[in-house]
A and B are shown apart, each in its own frame.
Chain A
């Protein structure tokens, strides 16, 4: 070995998180899991393409109660039905619960936890990689869908709502990801808890009158949506009837608080928990 280098200063929390982010982003983007991500986000693009083709034949692609639905409204429905109700929460569960769990399962967590960076920085770094990875895939999908279903003539009047959609989807990904990062760090079997939260708790809480809906992420994400909620099925009808529309600022602050609190608690969980690897 060459002469000893002077001992560098241990990285700060932020620097450590950034370094882990760099390490994890490549792993996340080029993993097989991303194939799943692309399939899921590609489906609405495929639907939009079909709608565009149908429209090109002169047939109205969508009617509600006999009335033709314009491109902007179709886009709004797709945001609701696919991105908000399925893609964003499922990606949050899928990636968020896996941030630490995958490293444990793969037994690579030892390499990260025996570095001079706080364990919490590892979690935050991987969370940042998740946010970048998912927004890099989801938002372009939304852009493609938008330009496929919304006629050029309507772009000017719908562009603000479109920009708002991009922002709220990114916030939704961040919020769900942070919450499930906490679940993944704190619980031994986070996947079932995550699915129960998304497909059980949130669906029930949104239709029950009262304060319960404030304990969901969907309530705040949906509060930011500029489009009308489609009424498909009883649950959706109930949700649209019982929906409250908190002010946008309240929604943004609540989502930011969810991200902050979840990450804070996740950092604490990771730093205090022992992770016993399967031999």
Chain B
């Protein structure tokens, strides 16, 4: 079942189009939402969190429309991008008060808030005023208010912003744990390698349209006009190159110290051939075969600049 489905979703701000005819279905699990600045990510986030009304089309979260349906927020947790708080309140007070708005009684809300604060490792600072928190702590307390009511769907807008590298890793790990616990997560971020460390499932937005959705490797394969680049580390680079040039689909071969870099339009056949060459042993050892552009960064670069 899809956790989020949009159909011909469009949003105009006067004459300016923020989002244009977006139809997408996001499955359960962790999904990364990517796009350059001005792509329409923020507009998309605001539409799916019910902050904006669609100009056209519809948005359904967990099978229900979100605009004007506040009861749905019982099942959804949102961590917005903006750094905005009731600065005079302590972290505990703030999360407890917001959790109380979900219909939990005072004690349960306090317990839920404490649990969420512990999950983001802020227990020690929970009774300090938010105004005194560092950027990373503010980000974490924001996460805490999003998860305290145990939502089925978490929507996180730049959740790792302002965190130090260690905390980023821990937060990524925490997000994956929540997903394993049954919570679906939609993460919007600019930090490609961190999205990659969380999930292979992405939605890529550019110029107000969905440019690609699905598994990142699958998307990479679909980008036909951009040949795959494969790097082979071997002492017998020239011999290997001679063999490979006879194959169909080879676009170019470039020699580098310790190996060669091949561009191929038919990666599946190419990998099979390299495996045969390695197994035959006729051309010496092949130490390493890597694809520098079979990753999110390459997909992002190809699709966004296309």
Residues of chain A touching chain B, judged by Cβ–Cβ distance below 8 Å, are: 1-2, 4-5, 7-11, 15-16, 19-20, 22-23, 26-27, 30-31, 106-108, 110-119, 271, 274-277, 279
Contact = CB atoms under 8 A, between A and B. Distances in A.
Contact of B50 (A10, A113, A276): A113
Given A8-B104, A107-B82, A1 B42 contact: no
Nearest to A27: B86
B103 A27 contact: no
Nearest to A115: B101
B299 interface: no
A268 to B, nearest CB: 12
* Residue of A23, A31, A111, A113 most packed against chain B (CB within 10 A): A111
A1 to B, nearest CB: 6
Contacts of B76: 114
From DSSP, what is the main secondary structure of chain A's interface residues? loop
Interface residues of B, number: 41
Contacts of A22: 97, 100
B115 A116 contact: no
Contacts of B51: 110, 113-114, 274-275
A119 B68 CA distance: 9
A33 to B, nearest CB: 12
B306 interface: no
Contact of A1 (B13, B49, B103, B119): B119
Contacts of B88: 27, 30-31
B98 A9 contact: no
A116 B102 contact: yes
Nearest to B84: A107
B19 interface: no
Given A30-B88, A115-B98, A115-B101, 5 more contacts: A19-B101, A22-B97, A113-B51, A115-B102, A116-B71
Nearest to B104: A8
Contacts of B257: none
B103 A271 contact: no
Interface in B122-165: 145, 147, 150
Given A27-B86, A27-B88, A107-B82, A114 B50 contact: yes
A26 B181 CA distance: 36
Nearest to A111: B98
A274 B73 contact: no
B63 to A, nearest CB: 15
A20 B52 contact: no
Contacts of B85: 108
B68 A1 contact: no
A116 B103 contact: yes
B108 A10 contact: no
B286 interface: no
B89 to A, nearest CB: 8
Contacts of B147: 1
Contact of B70 (A10, A20, A31, A108): A10
A277 to B, nearest CB: 7
Contacts of A110: 49, 51, 78, 80, 82, 84
A1 B52 contact: no
Contact of A23 (B50, B97, B108): B97
A38 B115 CA distance: 39
A276 B82 CA distance: 13
B37 to A, nearest CB: 11
A108 B88 CA distance: 13
B112 A5 contact: yes
B53 A274 contact: yes
B17 interface: no
B15 to A, nearest CB: 15
A23 B86 CA distance: 10
Given A2-B115, A279-B42, A116 B97 contact: no
Central interface residue in A2, A110, A115, by most chain B CB within 10 Å: A115
Nearest to B66: A114
Contact of A111 (B50, B70, B145, B182): B145
B70 A116 contact: yes
B72 interface: yes
Nearest to A120: B70
28 contacts: A1-B178, A4-B182, A7-B74, A8-B102, A8-B103, A10-B70, A10-B102, A15-B103, A20-B101, A22-B100, A23-B98, A27-B88, A30-B88, A31-B88, A106-B84, A107-B84, A110-B80, A113-B51, A114-B51, A116-B101, A117-B70, A119-B70, A274-B51, A274-B53, A275-B51, A276-B13, A277-B82, A279-B42
B266 interface: no
Given A8-B103, A10-B103, A110-B51, A1 B70 contact: no
A123 B249 CA distance: 65
Contacts of B150: 1, 4-5
B75 interface: yes
A119 B101 CA distance: 12
B49 to A, nearest CB: 6
Interface in B15-49: 42, 49
A116 B51 CA distance: 13
Contacts of B70: 10, 115-119
